[in-house]
Amino acid sequence: MTDTTPRTGTTLPDLGFDPDALRERYRRERDRRIRTDGATQYRRAAGEFGYYAKDPYTERVERDPLTDGVEVLVVGGGFGGLLTGARLREAGVESLRMMDEAGDFGGTWYWNRYPGIHCDVESYSYMPLLEETGYMPKWRYAPGEEIRQHAVRIAEHYGLYRDAVFHTRVTELRWDEDAAEWHVRTDRGDEMRARHVVVSSGTLTQPKLPGIPGIEDFRGHTFHTSRWDYGYTGGTADGGLTGLADKRVAVVGTGATGLQAIPHVARDARHLYVLQRTPSSVDVRDNRPTDPEWAASLRPGWQRERMENFLAILAGEDVEEDLVQDGWTGTARLQRAIITGAVDTTLDPAERERLDELADFAKMNEIRARVDDVVHDPATAEALKPWYRYMCKRPGFSDHYLQTFNRPNVTLVDTADHGGVTGMTENGVVVGETEYEVDCVIFATGFETGVSGVVSGTLPVHGRGGTPLLEAWGRGPRTLHGFYSHGFPNLFHLGPLQNANSVNFVHILQEQAEHIAAVVAEASKTGARYVEPTPEAEAAWARTLAETFVDNSAFLAECTPGYYNGEGTRRAAPTSYSPGPVAFHRLLAEWRKGHMSDVLVAPAAARTEG
Ligand code: NDP
């Protein structure tokens, strides 16, 4: 392949492609897919579509409403909540309640059990607390069920089932100033109290459906991938979907989930229609079992070192060695374009962007060439090629997906010129003038994004003086480091909020959980009445975000629509910490050393203030 590796001050060799032609093609392909209704094209899996979000895995157990009080309530039993719970237990917090809408721990991995489910970040970096729990993943990229069981293992190891409540959704958090605690209402009639509340309710949790006209008319079977109906399909997450043997199935969506589920459906269904709007980039996966010799050679502290190495490479930091060496670390420079991080300041920004774009073209040419290598039918291969920059969508990896389109029982239906599936009837799905009769429609159409219930308003929060949090945040979130806000004492947020992100999201959650647990533990130790930043500290953090902001609006505007760019409508804003996660974690560690007391308000001071 042509070497397009950028070097300062060098002239690029012959590229073997025409950047202007590619840029033009990308624009054309983006314009085919831009919809005027943007993000409003989707429907919530609620109300008449509520059955798409029902829990198919665990029976709801009836119980009496709770009226007790705890020191810490953790809302969310995914890895964010589990890591917070684990660290709080380590810090000696006994009075702790975990709560989740699901029937067990696991979060994402509780809900998503579709066939073929795997994590696309390597297990040794993704699955947290491996050394603490004495577990070694069986595969380099772990299947979902192994990850779900690991979540259960963490909960058992740290005693988090004690006092936990499942199938329970918080319906209101209201601050009680006199008692200095939160009054917590739930959809199970609970009226409990908690001195501290940690909200880790996830960001990609609520299934979303395309707003396809006639969706409610379909008489066949239908479900969303995050609530897989094995009662209908038969089989397990490993496949063997024998219930589909005589069925014509349509799968809508070819994102990270579609890529993993489609090969299994193709193998077992009588016929499969894959309804694609935008093709994913599909790079080599190369999954393999864990090498026992390698596992035995690891020294204590290996996991943290590996996670930090992976994070640093993806954030564009200088590292001596690439410990992970996979598709993510191989394309690290391209990922900075969206997730930000350290940048080479020896180049001027325009030159850096030009070189990044060239490297991106070369990478995507490689991805497109792979489609031609694997897919036999030239027209199908053409339709499967992604024409956009690498990080416009979550990059995909699979050694089975493209091969699926060589099967005689699989038809790829390109919906791009119609803005997606155009309709549904009693009998099937419609694209343009063509109706495809099917027995079952499976929606691999993703999730409502970027919002915890606190930000979306589905979890109403009333702080000091009864002030609604969304009113206080009317012009955008106001926090210190994304964790806490003035007027909302003892309330902590996990997730992407005025902080820094990365593709290994569990690592991000781990750092956040450790930070929050350290602050809560210190508050308990010192007897602080409130954990609460000053308005000045919040303003200073907002200034830091603005001053360090790297604007990637131009990149996002050129991207094909998707949830990364608000379906083509979002411009970048200083809502996260542009220097990236490594710098952010360093900043937090420094802050913990010298500034913890800044957010701890002692009882005496509280009395004076209040
Ligand atoms: P995505 O939002 O990534 O994909 C949704 C798919 O549905 C897209 O292909 C989209 O097309 C398509 N779609 C939506 N509406 C229509 C329509 N009207 N007609 C036709 N097609 C339509 O959801 P996923 O569940 O695939 O992934 C969500 C996220 O979950 C990922 O980005 C990733 O962060 C995470 N994930 C992670 C995994 C991991 O291994 N760590 C595995 C799976 C998911 P279009 O692109 O044109 O909008």
What is the residue-wise DSSP string for 144-203?
A: HHHHHHHHHHHHHHTT-STT-B-S--EEEEEEETTTTEEEEEETT--EEEEEEEEE---S
b/e 306-322 (16+ beta carbons within 10 angstroms → b): bbbbbbbbbbbbebeee
Q: Is 252 exposed, middle or buried (0-12, 13-18, 19+ CB in 10 A)?
A: buried
- Supply the pLDDT for residue 3: 43
Note whether residue 221 is domain-resident.
Answer: yes
Note whether residue 1 is domain-resident.
Answer: no
Ligand 1 centroid – CA 315 distance (Å): 24
Atom number of ligand 1 nearest to Cα 563? 2
- DSSP label of 24: H
Q: What are the DSSP E strand ranges found in 364-450? A: 396-397, 410-414, 423-424, 428-431, 434-437, 440-443
Ligand 1 centroid – CA 318 distance (Å): 32
**Residue 336 pLDDT > 90:** no
Confidence of residue 495 (pLDDT cuts 50, 70, 90): very high
Atom number of ligand 1 nearest to Cα 443? 7
Q: Is 87 helix (H, G, I), strand (E, B) or coil?
A: helix
Together in a domain, 215 and 144? no
- Conformational region of residue 47, where left means phi above 0, alpha means psi within -120 to 50, and beta covers everything else: left
Of the candidates 423, 443, 463, which is a domain's last residue? 443
**Residue 491 pLDDT > 90:** yes
**Residue 11 pLDDT > 60:** no
Ligand 1 centroid – CA 237 distance (Å): 19
For residues 377 and 17, which has the higher predicted lDDT (pLDDT)? Answer: 377
Note whether residue 580 is domain-resident.
Answer: yes
From 117, 126, 277, mutation site for ligand 1 pocket: most ligand atoms within 8 A of C-beta: 277
Tell me the pLDDT tens digit for each residue of 226-253. Answer: 999 999 999 999 999 999 999 999 999 9
Together in a domain, 189 and 211? no
| Percent share of the chain, pLDDT over 70 | 95
Residue 340, token pair as written in the block: 């930000």
| Percent share of the chain, pLDDT over 90 | 79
Ligand 1 centroid – CA 24 distance (Å): 25
CATH code, domain carrying 262: 3.50.50.60
From 394, 429, 436, 559, mutation site for ligand 1 pocket: most ligand atoms within 8 A of C-beta: 394
- Supply the pLDDT for residue 142: 98
Tell me the pLDDT tens digit for each residue of 527-541. Answer: 999 999 999 999 999
Tokens 């601050």 correspond to 175
Together in a domain, 409 and 431? yes
**Residue 10 pLDDT > 70:** no
Distance CA 366, CA 2 (A): 11
* Mean of pLDDT values over 582-600: 96
Confidence of residue 582 (pLDDT cuts 50, 70, 90): very high
- Supply the pLDDT for residue 8: 44
In angstroms and rounded to an integer, the radius of gyration of the C-alpha atoms of the chain is 25
Residue 109, token pair as written in the block: 């991995």
Ligand 1 centroid – CA 61 distance (Å): 32
Of the candidates 407, 422, 443, which is a domain's last residue? 443
Ligand 1 centroid – CA 314 distance (Å): 22
Instruction: For residue 268, give every residue at least 6 positions away whose Cβ sits within 8 Å of its Cβ, in sequence order, or none.
Output: 233, 235, 239, 240, 241, 242, 244, 245
Tell me the pLDDT tens digit for each residue of 344-371. Answer: 777 787 888 888 899 999 999 999 999 9
Note whether residue 556 is domain-resident.
Answer: no
Tell me the pLDDT tens digit for each residue of 43-80. Answer: 888 888 888 889 999 999 999 999 999 999 999 999 99
Together in a domain, 411 and 268? yes
Note whether residue 261 is domain-resident.
Answer: yes
Closest CA to ligand 1's atom 15: 210
Together in a domain, 104 and 165? yes
For residues 335 and 281, which has the higher predicted lDDT (pLDDT)? Answer: 281
Ligand 1 centroid – CA 280 distance (Å): 9
Note whether residue 409 is domain-resident.
Answer: yes
Closest CA to ligand 1's atom 34: 394
Q: Is 13 helix (H, G, I), strand (E, B) or coil?
A: coil
- The mean of the pLDDT values for the chain is 92
Closest CA to ligand 1's atom 14: 445
Whether 82 and 89 have beta carbons less than 8 Å apart is answered as no
Ligand 1 centroid – CA 446 distance (Å): 4
Together in a domain, 504 and 593? yes
Note whether residue 369 is domain-resident.
Answer: no
Together in a domain, 242 and 275? yes
Atom number of ligand 1 nearest to Cα 121? 41
**Number of CB atoms found within 10 A of residue 527's CB:** 9
Helix H or strand E segment including 71: strand 69-75
Query: DSSP H helical segments within 444-502, as ranges?
Result: 453-456, 469-472
Atom number of ligand 1 nearest to Cα 253? 7
Ligand 1 centroid – CA 126 distance (Å): 20
**Residue 412 pLDDT > 60:** yes
Ligand 1 centroid – CA 560 distance (Å): 13
For residues 591 and 52, which has the higher predicted lDDT (pLDDT)? Answer: 591
Ligand 1 centroid – CA 386 distance (Å): 14
Note whether residue 361 is domain-resident.
Answer: no
Q: Is 338 helix (H, G, I), strand (E, B) or coil?
A: helix
Question: What total of structural domains would you count in the chain?
Answer: 2
Ligand 1 centroid – CA 412 distance (Å): 17
- Supply the pLDDT for residue 69: 98
Closest among 167, 143, 170 to 54, alpha carbons compared: 167
Closest CA to ligand 1's atom 5: 445
* Mean of pLDDT values over 493-497: 94
Together in a domain, 233 and 116? no
Distance CA 332, CA 344 (A): 13
**Residue 606 pLDDT > 60:** no
Most confident of 4-18, 35-49, 517-531: 517-531
Together in a domain, 173 and 198? yes
* Mean of pLDDT values over 82-108: 97
**Residue 165 pLDDT > 50:** yes
Atom number of ligand 1 nearest to Cα 416? 47
Closest CA to ligand 1's atom 31: 256
Ligand 1 centroid – CA 246 distance (Å): 27
Closest CA to ligand 1's atom 17: 420
Ligand 1 centroid – CA 374 distance (Å): 22
Closest CA to ligand 1's atom 18: 420
Atom number of ligand 1 nearest to Cα 112? 43
* Mean of pLDDT values over 205-213: 89
Together in a domain, 437 and 504? no
Tell me the backbone φ, ψ of residue 424, rounded to 5 degrees: -130, 145
Together in a domain, 272 and 133? no
Closest CA to ligand 1's atom 24: 446
Of the candidates 413, 443, 473, which is a domain's last residue? 443
Own/partner pairs for 590-595, CB < 8 Å, 24+ apart? Answer: 591/481, 592/515, 592/518, 592/519
From 29, 43, 445, mutation site for ligand 1 pocket: most ligand atoms within 8 A of C-beta: 445
Domain hosting 242: range is 38-53+207-285+395-443
* Mean of pLDDT values over 117-136: 98
Tell me the pLDDT tens digit for each residue of 278-298. Answer: 999 999 999 999 999 999 999
- Supply the pLDDT for residue 13: 60
Tell me the pLDDT tens digit for each residue of 471-482. Answer: 999 988 999 999
Closest CA to ligand 1's atom 36: 256
User: Strands 282-283 and 396-397: what pairing?
Assistant: parallel
Ligand 1 centroid – CA 456 distance (Å): 20
- Measured at the CA of 527, the angle between CA 526 and CA 528, to 5 degrees, comes to 90
Closest among 74, 377, 423, 28 to 217, alpha carbons compared: 423
Together in a domain, 267 and 145? no
Q: Can you say whether the dihedral through the CA atoms of 137, 139, 140, 143 is positive or negative?
A: negative
Tokens 């709080």 correspond to 88
Query: What residues does ligand 1 touch, defined as CB less than 6 Å away?
Result: 33, 118-121, 204, 210, 212, 252-258, 275, 277-278, 394, 415, 420-421, 444-447, 562-563
